[in-house]
Structure 1
């Protein structure tokens, strides 16, 4: 008698994203400006995405961070035809992030120009001259780091973005924590350090976010970066929801 073992296929990306506790994640975003999701990519999917870094045909440009004084390491911008998991993740995440984006805009008394569909929003970006893909694959080696910055490419900005760890912290690399620094109204800046578990996504503030103040809510500017990688090699996938 055959006793062949079968392995269940992983759930579709959208199902994994939709199954996260988004009300709880929204509360964490309100409190801290960032929130870590459950695992959205399997280890095999993470390894496959990291291996794509060496495929020149998938990318429109490569940035050497040391050359531009952005830190140390390199990242590559995908073309508008990224690997399927990249596009699937972006499309699955957008409607959940849109709810938070509109809530933040209301708290700050700002317009909320983001339509219900990602395609419609990207059409607005392209009409405004922001027509380049902004999805990023990053690679850091020992000694590399990323300076505090914002991913702003024009007047049209989506207020949340996502980074997904593709390697195993403590095994494939050490150091390289994700950094978020928030300038609090009339107070010292606040820093947050997060280890990215393999396949998990960190949702975080793109430019600024609402924080409670004596007059309701104020906009707290936020920048992000990566601490020095101590050893090994660190890959990450960056998902930005406005084009460049």
Structure 2
């Protein structure tokens, strides 16, 4: 057995245990009511530092994006290449089945026929059969004055409706400003903004595109976008776990 396979097995066991320890009934309720929910201390400070330290090492990544060049904001990010780092890959695998239950419930409420398989490998096969083969987990880096415009991470025709962002830096110590922001637009109403407070190692689960809301005539879809407010000082790193692959 290789060192890499031992490390992967340890990461998988660790990821499955910490995901199972989350209060999923409460998380599902938060997602249903607000479109986002926080998992506290999903990563340890040491794990956060280890992932953030990967950023300068190009061998871990398939591409490097400077946001200003594309009108996305200011700051930069790198998409991981396959194979993903053990812990990130293990968390992606462990989180997916829990979130697939929420996603399938949302589609049922909205009267949509699509159902997501319980196993992430089966969902990735659907992505790859659709021509979406490039990995989407990414590592983001912000410096003073950087921000991320409100957006949606879709990447192709097949998109999983929930994603996860984990804050790797400590607010107040490593950076100031740089809050995670979610906006929701309901028909014939002004946008509602949600600022989600996070500390190092916390993960926010949120809707990628839209979510169901109960109306007088049944459930309807509301549109969501997410971003990061302007960083006032320091350096902020975040890892994003997106469950569908890209074209």
CA distance in 1: counterparts of 2:144 and 2:100, whole angstroms: 36
Partner of 1:121: 123
Once the two structures are TM-superposed, the CA of residue 186 in structure 1 deviates from its matched residue by 2.1
Partner of 1:136: 138
Asked if the contact 1:60–1:76 (Cα under 8 Å) also holds between the matched residues in 2, the reply is yes
Partner of 1:55: 57
**Structural mapping, 1:18-97, within 5 Å:** 18-97=20-99
Q: Are 2:173 and 1:198 aligned? A: no
State the secondary structure of the residue aligned to 2:54.
helix
Once the two structures are TM-superposed, the CA of residue 65 in structure 1 deviates from its matched residue by 0.1
Once the two structures are TM-superposed, the CA of residue 38 in structure 1 deviates from its matched residue by 2.2
CA distance in 1: counterparts of 2:26 and 2:115, whole angstroms: 25
Number of equivalences? 236
Asked if the contact 1:185–1:218 (Cα under 8 Å) also holds between the matched residues in 2, the reply is no
Partner of 1:208: 210
Once the two structures are TM-superposed, the CA of residue 116 in structure 1 deviates from its matched residue by 1.4
CA distance in 2: counterparts of 1:152 and 1:182, whole angstroms: 17
Once the two structures are TM-superposed, the CA of residue 39 in structure 1 deviates from its matched residue by 1.1
Measured against aligned partners, the alpha-carbon deviations of 1:48-107 in whole angstroms (never above 9, x if no partner) come to 000000110000001000011100000000001121110011011001101100110011
Measured against aligned partners, the alpha-carbon deviations of 1:15-34 in whole angstroms (never above 9, x if no partner) come to 01111000000000111100
State the secondary structure of the residue aligned to 1:170.
coil
Asked if the contact 2:109–2:212 (Cα under 8 Å) also holds between the matched residues in 1, the reply is yes
CA distance in 2: counterparts of 1:38 and 1:226, whole angstroms: 19
Asked if the contact 2:116–2:123 (Cα under 8 Å) also holds between the matched residues in 1, the reply is yes
State the secondary structure of the residue aligned to 1:113.
coil
Q: Which runs of 4+ in 1 moved over 2 A?
A: none
Identify the range of structure 1 (165-174 vs 189-198) with the bigger mean alpha-carbon deviation: 189-198
Asked if the contact 1:169–1:195 (Cα under 8 Å) also holds between the matched residues in 2, the reply is no
CA distance in 1: counterparts of 2:63 and 2:131, whole angstroms: 18
State the secondary structure of the residue aligned to 1:223.
strand
Q: TM-score, normalised by structure 2?
A: 0.93
Identify, as 1 or 2, the structure richer in helix. Answer: 2
- Unaligned runs of at least 5 residues, structure 1: 1-8
Partner of 1:103: 105
Measured against aligned partners, the alpha-carbon deviations of 1:133-169 in whole angstroms (never above 9, x if no partner) come to 0001000001000000000111101000000000001
Q: TM-score, normalised by structure 1?
A: 0.94
